[in-house]
Amino acid sequence: MAEIKEILPDFPSGPLSNYRKQASFDWRNMAVVIDTEERLKFKHAIWKAMEEDPTFTHSVKDKDSSLDEIRNRTFEKALKVREIIPDTGFDFRTRAETSSVLGQYDWSVSLRYAILQSFFSNAIRGAGTKGHYKYVEAAEKQQIYGCVCMTEIGHGTNIRGLRTKATYVPSTQKFILNTPDFQAAKCWAGNLGKTANFAYVMAQLYTPDGVCHGLHGFVVPIRDSQLNTLPGVIIGDMGPKAGLNGLDNGFMMFNNYEIPKESLLNKNGDVTAEGTYVSPFKDPSKKFGASLGNLSGARVAITSLCSASLCNAVTIAIRYSAIRKQFGNPGSNEEMPIIEYQLQQWRLFPHLSAAYVLKYFSSVLFDNLMSFALSQFDSDMNQEVRAAWGMEIHAVSSSAKPLAGWLAQTAIQDVREACGGHGYLQCAGISRLRDDNDAFLTFEGENNVLMQQTSNWLINLWNDSKREVIIQKSKLGSLTFLLKAEQRLNNTFQPGTVEALLKPKVILGIYKWLVCYLLRLTAEKYQTLLAASDQDNFLAKNESQVFFARTLSLAYIEHFMLETFHNQLCQRPGLPEDIKNVLNKLFLLYGLWSLEKQHLGTLYEGGYFKGPKPSKLIRNAILGLCEDLKPEAVALVDSIAPTDFVLNSVLGASDGQVYKRLEQAMSQYPDSFAKSSNWSEFASRLKSKL
């Protein structure tokens, strides 16, 4: 613990001290519980190295620079990261935090580093064979700069619709890459716009007989050693975006561009020298699945990234709310810190609870994904069990990523408004979070489309005669709500007081009923549509989304997040009582707030709620929890906040010197006190002698 105190030293005494003293728990203990000692060391080692290295100094002029400058600086930082990451003494799991740790500083740096260091290599490793490992090695040593090109202008979410062609020519033993038109141009690939010299390219493989064998990956040189694009390749930068402007998303077209036969990443399919297609897969859809590789990985990762942004956002707003005063009781001369107002508490504390629940959940999900990945080497493992495990991770991550993105998005927006006008300044650090996080909402498939993976899986399960067996075998345990679903659907709301409501079992019970109800309803709706449409599955799926499948996926993942947080964290043996007590409140607030905001109508509709009591109890309980959490809130953000250097917000610094920092930021802005460069033109129009 002495060591932890070095990593997390005492905060300077100042305007936040008063609220810090009110907390009922030790903020350092909480940090260790929610993050582990190992990870805290790792994070802070990186953050400290960044703070000490001038490469990472924040520019006060960021938005005031050309895209070229911003991108150059970001890439310099991304290249530098490799040198500052602690080399030894940290396991792979801890190292996996790197993206979040960098992202809390700057998401463009984080993504550029991830593409350089792992996206490209993972893509090659996943689809390639031994001969391709030299690219992996070179990329990981940053001897080449890689990028990953899947999405095209005309196709993103529907990945099967990609149209880049790779045609094999036996006479030259080469593939010819072609982009039929602009809609088939590769796009959105980070590092492509200005920097990558190698690309992983996904294309439709054609044999000389004109047969298309579906999507395959290729490793393709695209720029020479001077970073000029190679003949036959056109690469452009997609230009300014809503956020992530340090990332050079590019587009690329091929014009009869020849690449050697060996460029084909041939783990799942290959061509002979003569041009015959061979594949270890007989079922083309299995091959398709394999060639897409493990998409869950990216979704699980994004879940973590969103949680990191959410932590930054609530830190800013809660610290500022403890400092900012406005109005006060007319009987008093003092104005009141805005954190004292019910409205402000209700606008912020549920997001704080979401930050805790999501942070813990995304970490558990990541652990699980890792165990799953390692299980491929476990020869004792039943393949059917492993497949079911993979499916469950797929289903969970397909709704966890959307929920995480939206939780961060709505929190950042509320934070921005709750900070008033000053929240609108870039030096507040909020708009940057919003602009960058926004990308995650459509990364890896549009959120609403993605969630259909979850609901489809649940509906199939509902109709499966072996349902109970599958639930018992579930590796993640996301299906507990389904146990005795039919009996559960007869349950109704029992608590008669707020006290009786404020029990984890009660909240989880409401959620379990809700997910069962939505699942039965959606399965029935789907069946009805199927019957009415002459078994048109496409139509039946599409028409059972709104108010049914979509809500089902959300309720399912909310329940699983809550249950995981409760079972694996709040109930963890040996957890100190003070920590347990406040984690329990966060659990309750997140659960009740999510129910109140989205599901009251459905709970009444399905008969689980009756009369005025349930809704009134829930609302009273939320307000009570907000009041209870007021003395804890500042310490709770202290436990999950990055360092001041990383947070980079004048409103959210740990010393609470909001006004000094505002003054400093506004005065340091380079042109703050300068005249407009166009002053003489503007002055010449002034005519009055007033």
Active site residues: 444
For residue 236, state whether it binds a second copy (rule: CB under 8 A): yes
CB of 403 to a second copy, least distance (A): 14
**Binding residue for a second copy (CB under 8 A) from 54, 210, 573, 612?**
612
Instruction: Determine contact, residues 355/632, Cβ cutoff 8 Å.
Output: no
**130 counts as binding a second copy under rule CB under 8 A:** no
Residues 425-464, interacting with a second copy (CB under 8 A): 425-427, 430-431, 434-435, 438-439, 441-443, 446-449
Does residue 15 bind a second copy (CB under 8 A)? no
Measured CA distances, 392 to 377, 380, 509 (Å): 19, 20, 22
Pick between residue 390 and residue 614 the one whose CB is nearest to a second copy. 614
The dihedral through the CA atoms of 552, 557, 562, 566 has a sign that is positive
CB of 638 to a second copy, least distance (A): 25
Using CB under 8 A as the binding rule, whether residue 186 contacts a second copy is answered as no
- Residue 212, strand partner residues: 206
Q: What minimum distance in Å lies between the beta carbon of 299 and a second copy? A: 16
- Return all residues near 2 (Cβ < 8 A) that are at least 6 apart: none
Q: Which stretch binds a second copy (CB under 8 A): 12-20, 34-42, 231-239, 470-478?
A: 231-239
Give the position of tokens 């870039």: 426
- Kindly state whether residue 292 participates in binding a second copy, applying the rule CB under 8 A: no
The answer to whether residue 276 forms part of the interface with a second copy (CB under 8 A) is no
The DSSP code for 283 is S
Query: Pick from 53, 83, 378, 417: which binds a second copy (CB under 8 A)?
Result: 417
502-561 residues near a second copy, rule: CB under 8 A: 536, 538-539, 542-543, 545-547, 550
Instruction: State yes or no: residue 378 binds a second copy (CB under 8 A).
Output: no
Residue from the set 88, 226, 333, 472 that interacts with a second copy by CB under 8 A: 226
Report the 10 Å Cβ neighbour count for 648. 20
- The 3-state DSSP class for residue 685 equals coil
| Contact between 299 and 426 (Cβ < 8 Å) | no
Residue 481 CB, nearest distance to a second copy (Å)? 21
Look up tokens 């880049």; give the residue: 164
Closest approach of Cβ 42 to a second copy, in Å?
26
CB of 368 to a second copy, least distance (A): 28
- In the bound state with a second copy, the residue whose beta carbon lies nearer, of 171 and 677, is 677
Taking alpha carbons only, the member of 358, 344, 343, 346 closest to residue 312 is 358
Cα separation, 278 vs 269, whole angstroms: 6
Q: Which is nearer to a second copy, 220 or 369 (CB)?
A: 220
| Residue-wise DSSP of 147-216 | EEE--BSS-SSSGGG---EEEEETTTTEEEEE--SGGG-EEEETTTTTT-SEEEEEEEEE-TTS-EEEEE
Q: Does residue 399 touch a second copy according to CB under 8 A?
A: no
Tokens for 47, please give them. Answer: 């953050």
Stretch 622-641 residues interacting with a second copy (CB under 8 A):
622-623
> Look-up: residue for tokens 């905001």?
597
| Rg, the chain, Cα only | 27
- The answer to the question of residue 665 lying near a second copy (CB under 8 A) is yes
**Is residue 131 within 8 Å of 267, Cβ to Cβ?**
no
The CA-based diameter of the chain, rounded to the nearest angstrom, is 92
- The token pair that represents 50 in the structure block: 């960044």
The stretch among 18-26, 32-40, 41-49, 343-351 that binds a second copy (CB under 8 A) is 343-351
Selected from 373, 477, 600, 655, the binder of a second copy by CB under 8 A is 600
**Least separation, in Å, of the C-beta of 156 and a second copy?**
5
Whole-number Å distance between alpha carbons of 3 and 43: 14
Q: Which of 25, 42, 75, 361 binds a second copy (CB under 8 A)?
A: 75
Please identify which residue in 210, 330, 573, 574 interacts with a second copy, judged by CB under 8 A. Answer: 330
Residue 314 CA to residue 381 CA, distance in Å, equals 42
Interface mask (CB under 8 A) for a second copy, residues 77-96, using x and -?
--x-----------------
Size of residue set near a second copy by CB under 8 A: 146
Say if residues 449 and 351 touch (Cβ distance below 8 Å): no
Return the axis-axis angle of helices 447-462 and 383-418, rounded to nearest 10°. 140
Q: Please, which residue, 9 or 421, has the CB nearer to a second copy?
A: 421
Task: Give me the least distance between CB of 32 and a second copy, in Å please.
Answer: 34
Q: How far is the CB of 676 from a second copy (least distance, A)?
A: 4
The residue type at 425? L
Task: Select the residue interacting with a second copy from 129, 173, 413, 456 (CB under 8 A).
Answer: 413
Selected binder of a second copy within 241, 386, 475, 520 (CB under 8 A): 241
Q: What are the Cα distances from residue 348, in Å, to 212, 528, 634, 635?
A: 54, 42, 12, 14
Task: Note the helical H segments in 445-503.
Answer: 447-462, 467-473, 485-488, 498-501
d(C-alpha 433, C-alpha 243), whole Å:
9
210-218, 322-330, 356-364, 497-505 -> range binding a second copy (CB under 8 A): 322-330
